[in-house]
Amino acid sequence: MKKASLTLITLASILILLIFCQRQNEPIKIGLAVNLSGPGGSAGEHIRDGAMQAVEDINAKGGVKGRPLLLLVRDDLNTAAGVLQADEALMEEGVPVIIGHSQSTNTLTAYPLVTSRNTLLMTAYTSTKQLSGRDDLFVRTAVESNLYGLKTAALLKNKGMKSVAFLIDDVNAVFGNDWLAETRRHFQGALSEVHFNSKEEPHWPKIITELLASDPEAVILMTSSSISAVAAQFVRQQNQAVLLIASLWSQSPELVTVGGKSVEGMTIITFIPSENTRPDYLAFSQRLEANFNKKATPRSARAHELITILADAMGRCKIINALELKAALLAGEYESILGGVKFDRFGDTVRPVYEERIINGVFKTIGEIQ
């Protein structure tokens, strides 16, 4: 009887050990929720590809504490319902972190659901100040809109501009309105604004006529890359001299391929310099092109940077959960393929902001905006 009991105890111990070892080798799930099929879905493909490349690179080096990362991707459809459905599906999979979303409006939709469920929400694409300075489960590697507004005003002053008109696509109204409000705080000249919704088949001649009615010296496009390209074509039909400025929302190859000569000379305000000669960035770019037959873009590079930073923090967690992850993220300093990153106590970050310009169909870095 004693022998049988000892045998059972031994078997139970072995079983527990096997289960423990199995869990130690289980993949670490991370969620990615972006727009892949709704309006502007091509931008989401760049994000997904950069994220997948990051996971492959990390796993090739042994993963996190010997455990591979497993990227779970969900399409948020660029709708409020799609955002919530995508995040709900990822949380049901037990992910400790969701990377998303690709627009400020969508991230604001996701924020209360995700952070109330002990899940970290982390993004490289959301700049809204509405999530700034909060002690919560939200972390971003993106620059906040208040800094963009300050730098936009500085750029306009440096160029001697005294009047500007904003074109804001209300599909991502939070992004455009925040940028506008912060620019208005710092810009001393005349400022006008025109709103439209790209999901509703815009009547471009009417929109552009209204945009140019105040005879602005500069037009600032708070629109996606493809929409900025179309807007630029209609602007140039009416005014060849006005300075065209766009945000990093437009910093994508589609801007040039769709816009052609109409976007030549356009200025882009961004924290991602296009002329990046860092060896690790160039190596990432080569691997991405080999695996996906696509050149690296600001969106794919931001996704790769974020997941690399996330993996570093995971490696310093005793237990990988949302609270431990945020604490580890905030405790670290990171040198990424895009430069240095350090979070403040709320999970926000400040980075240099650059002026880019399209010259002969190529994005060129003019320099940091002072």
- Residues 139-168 have a mean pLDDT of 97
Whether residues 117 and 164 share a domain: the answer is no
Whether residues 107 and 157 share a domain: the answer is no
Residue 108 in domain: yes
pLDDT for the residue numbered 340: 96
Whether residues 166 and 264 share a domain: the answer is yes
Per-residue pLDDT reduced to its tens digit, 24-67? 689 999 999 999 997 778 889 999 999 999 999 999 999 999 99
Helix 322-331 with 298-314: angle, nearest 10 deg: 100
Residue 12 in domain: no
Domain end position, chosen among 255, 270, 285: 270
Residue 17 in domain: no
Q: What is the 3-state secondary structure (H, E, C) of the chain?
A: CHHHHHHHHHHHHHHHHHHHHHHHHCCEEEEEEECCCCCCHHHHHHHHHHHHHHHHHHHHCCCECCECEEEEEEECCCCHHHHHHHHHHHHHCCCCEEECCCCHHHHHHHHHHHHCCCCEEEECCCCCHHHCCCCCCEEECCECHHHHHHHHHHHHHHCCCCEEEEEEEHHHHHHHHHHHHHHHHHCCCEEEEEEECHHHCCCHHHHHHHHCCCCCCEEEEECCHHHHHHHHHHHHHHCCCCEEEEEHHHCCHHHHHHHHHHHCCCEEEECCCCCCCCHHHHHHHHHHHHHHCCCCCHHHHHHHHHHHHHHHHHCCCCCCCHHHHHHHHHHCEEEECCEEEEECCCCCECCCCEEEEEECCEEEEEEECC
Band (pLDDT 50/70/90 cuts) for residue 3 is low
Checking DSSP bridges between strand 354-359 and strand 339-342, what pairing results, if any? unpaired
Whether residues 266 and 294 share a domain: the answer is no
Domain end position, chosen among 247, 270, 293: 270
Burial (Cβ within 10 Å: 0-12, 13-18, ≥19) of residue 324: middle
pLDDT for the residue numbered 22: 44
Retrieve residue 368's tokens: 């940091």
Whether residues 71 and 151 share a domain: the answer is no
248: domain range? 146-270
Residue 300 in domain: yes
Per-residue pLDDT reduced to its tens digit, 334-357? 999 999 999 999 999 999 999 999
Per-residue pLDDT reduced to its tens digit, 263-309? 999 999 999 999 999 999 999 999 999 999 999 999 999 999 999 99
Q: How many domains does the chain have?
A: 2
Dihedral pair phi/psi, residue 113, rounded to 5°:
-70, -50
Residue 260 in domain: yes
The CATH number linked to 303 is 3.40.50.2300
pTM of the shown model: 0.90
pLDDT for the residue numbered 5: 55
Instruction: Give 245's contacts (C-beta < 8 A, 6+ positions apart).
Output: 152, 155, 218, 219, 220, 221, 266, 267, 268, 269
Q: Kindly tell me if the per-residue pLDDT of 21 is higher than 80.
A: no
Residue 206 in domain: yes
Whether residues 168 and 313 share a domain: the answer is no
Whether residues 162 and 120 share a domain: the answer is no
Q: Kindly tell me if the per-residue pLDDT of 87 is higher than 90.
A: yes
Band (pLDDT 50/70/90 cuts) for residue 23 is low
Whether residues 193 and 111 share a domain: the answer is no
Domain end position, chosen among 270, 297, 320: 270
* Number of residues that this document lists for the chain: 370
Whether residues 80 and 94 share a domain: the answer is yes
Whether residues 203 and 291 share a domain: the answer is no
Residue 47 in domain: yes
pLDDT for the residue numbered 20: 43
Residue 120 in domain: yes
What residue type is 215 in one-letter code? D
Whether residues 282 and 240 share a domain: the answer is no
Whether residues 182 and 217 share a domain: the answer is yes
Mean of pLDDT over the chain: 94
